[in-house]
Amino acid sequence: MGISAAAVKDLRARTGAGMMDCKKALVEADGDTEKAIEALRKAGIAKAEKKSGRAANDGAISTYIHPGAKLGVLLEVNCETDFVAKTPDFQQFTKDVAMHIAASNPLVVSREELDPGVVEKEREIFTELTRKSGKPEKIIPKIVEGRIEKFYGEVVLLEQSFVKDPDKTVKDLLTETIAKLGENITISRFARFELGEVSKCAPAAD
């Protein structure tokens, strides 16, 4: 079927994908824009996963100061080249993540950075609460693990729902940005400051 230039242009505006990729996706989706978006997203994720092992030694420090100047965030995001670090898409990504940190107050960037003792303490509390609720003993471990996963989603930056689009996680946003910019990108560390409180700093992973 024929695909109009307007449809290709619209898809490119919505996804950031190249013109040829947009046209190909629309042809394969029989002109269905939503199906084409889904196909491009899946392709982008696959490409992003291939890039994730590459060294990211450049990047930028981003800041966010909440109106009223009583809450602020410092954020380090790394990419592979200075060229990408200066692009509007990369800069917008860092600003969005810094704002998200201010709003959602994560403890760490990834679950691997959480103190195992903290996770074990949460597991003990969830186990005791579930047992007191009268649940059968044999299903308690499964319920507790579900609660632990929810806990990760509350305190781990990459697993939190993105404040500007709760249908995706911060990790989803990161993957989409990697696919769009064509370089590996990592969120390295952040510090969140709130007036009158001890600052919260998430160090870079080893």
> Quick one: which of 192, 89, 133, 200 has its CA closest to 125?
133
Same domain, 93 and 121: no
Same domain, 98 and 163: yes
> What per-residue confidence (pLDDT) applies to 3?
84
> What per-residue confidence (pLDDT) applies to 10?
82
Same domain, 127 and 189: no
pTM (two decimals): 0.69
Look up residue 2 and give its DSSP letter: -
Report the alpha-carbon distance of residue 34 to residue 176 in Å, rounded: 16
> What per-residue confidence (pLDDT) applies to 160?
96
Which domain does 11 fall in, by range? Answer: 5-51
> What per-residue confidence (pLDDT) applies to 104?
95
Helix (H) or strand (E) segment spanning residue 74:
strand 71-79
> What per-residue confidence (pLDDT) applies to 110?
93
Same domain, 125 and 99: no
Mean pLDDT of all residues in the chain? Answer: 86
Structural domains in the chain (count): 3
Q: Check: CB of residue 75 under 8 Å from CB of residue 97.
A: yes
Same domain, 140 and 196: no
Domain end call among 14, 29, 51: 51
CA 23 to chain CA centroid, Å, is: 28
Report the alpha-carbon distance of residue 146 to residue 135 in Å, rounded: 14
> What per-residue confidence (pLDDT) applies to 203?
63
> What per-residue confidence (pLDDT) applies to 187?
95
CATH number at residue 138: 1.10.286
Ranges of the chain with pLDDT below 70: 1, 15-18, 44-55, 198-206
> What per-residue confidence (pLDDT) applies to 12?
76
> What per-residue confidence (pLDDT) applies to 52?
57
